Amino acid sequence: MLKKWQQKLAIIFSTILMLSTLAMAPIQAQAATVSVSAKSGIAVDAKTGQILYAKNSSKALPIASMSKMLSIYLVLKSIHEGKLKWNQRVHINANIEKISKDTELTNVPLSTSRTCTVRDLYKASLIYSANAAVMALGIAQAGSSKAFVNEMRAQAKKWGITDAKLYNASGLTESEVGKEAYPNTAKNDENEMSAKDVAIVASNLLKDYPEVLKTTKQTSAWFAKGTTDAVKMTTHNYLLPHMADYLKGYNVDGLKSGTSTKAMACFTGTVKKNGHRIITVVMGSSSKNEGNARFTDTQTIMKDVYNNFKPVSYKKGTALKQASTFKVPEGKTTTVKAGLQQPTTVWIAKNQSTKTISFRSKQAESKAGLSAPVKKGQKVGKATVKVANQKVNYLQSSDAELQLTTKKSVEKANVLVRFWRSIVSVF
């Protein structure tokens, strides 16, 4: 009889242990079960940079026209700084005209005899992925193709992207851009980044210039309407509403496709659902059937994120458990409460409890504590997140650190109080 009860207890204990293990499984483990055909891919929270899915995401691969996101970032930066104007007329050089007439490439007709506005070239670059158009923008912005590529490289480095290979604004091979090729490059050279790098570019584009979505969500637009060169441009993003691969309930509004022989079919997508925006990148999907596989892969990743994970939001000022109190040894009060400087979100698996989220703080000053006086809103430390005691992965290390600020001021205690505390501490 005793052995039977022991057996029953063993079964019950094993079951409880199994269920608790599943409940505590880190988000990264569940994301790894998603199967896509692409060579590499990634999904991240657009605001926090938390990685929700990853497949060979650090491997540098050709990115084709997804290059245009970095190019457009620099163009928008120049517009915001007043260096370029939307209605500014752009002169087209002979090299750019020649590229625009290459029927093997995606283009709108450009001519040395006709100028184009920055706005027209911008829309052509994003909606139609017009290669010569984005190169013309680069020249207008930096003075030459070489100078613009140097800016692309500098910006990538500024974001911590170290393994990128950047040769031109469009993502074409160097042989395809002819005399606009970067000096001392091989004909088959083309832009390369990892999926993680591309996600960094996309997240910065959306963070700094969210207005780009007003253009990327357009399914069609006219170029040079009313002229003999008029072209009705149709998007290559088939996930947009009313397009062939639209996924009901997922109102995708960007960002950029890319296709080349070496890159195969690539796509950077973004969607906001239930108030939370994610960015996805797939690279090296099949190019057959107009690159349909990249959209199927993107759908798979997007559905997995929203169906299997849940976002846990923390408001500005929230005092985080295990990271809310800081010592102020010389203050009138010897501790001060701190909270989040900015709101944040942590994604966890849907079968996980919010209790699996924990925070660890790192004080801004020495272990001895903060120096009094302390001002309200003063930065006093940073917190990092764990889910089920597992490190949460982010696009960049800086994304993983949550800034903490004080919820109230703490004045310095008078000399007698400080003296008495020093005596008491001895005993």
Catalytic residue at 129? yes
* Token output for 96: 């750019």
Q: CA 9, CA 1: separation in Å to the nearest integer?
A: 13
Residues found in the chain:
427
Q: CA 36, CA 93: separation in Å to the nearest integer?
A: 42
Q: CA 306, CA 269: separation in Å to the nearest integer?
A: 14
Q: CA 303, CA 325: separation in Å to the nearest integer?
A: 39
* Token output for 29: 């483990």
Catalytic residue at 170? no
Q: Which of 129, 170, 203, 257 is catalytic?
A: 129
Q: CA 385, CA 355: separation in Å to the nearest integer?
A: 12
* Token output for 360: 């660890």
What is the DSSP-derived secondary structure letter of residue 412? B
CA dihedral for 363, 366, 367, 372, sign (positive or negative): negative
- How far is Cα of residue 70 from the mean position of the Cα atoms in its chain? 12
What totals of helices (H) and strands (E) does the chain contain, helices first?
11, 19
Q: CA 422, CA 10: separation in Å to the nearest integer?
A: 55
Any idea which residue has 């108030």 for tokens?
275
Q: Which of 65, 71, 125, 324 is catalytic?
A: 65
Catalytic residue at 57? no
Nearest to 50 by CA among 341, 374, 287, 385: 385
Q: Which of 68, 123, 196, 217 is catalytic?
A: 68
The catalytic residue positions are 65, 68, 129
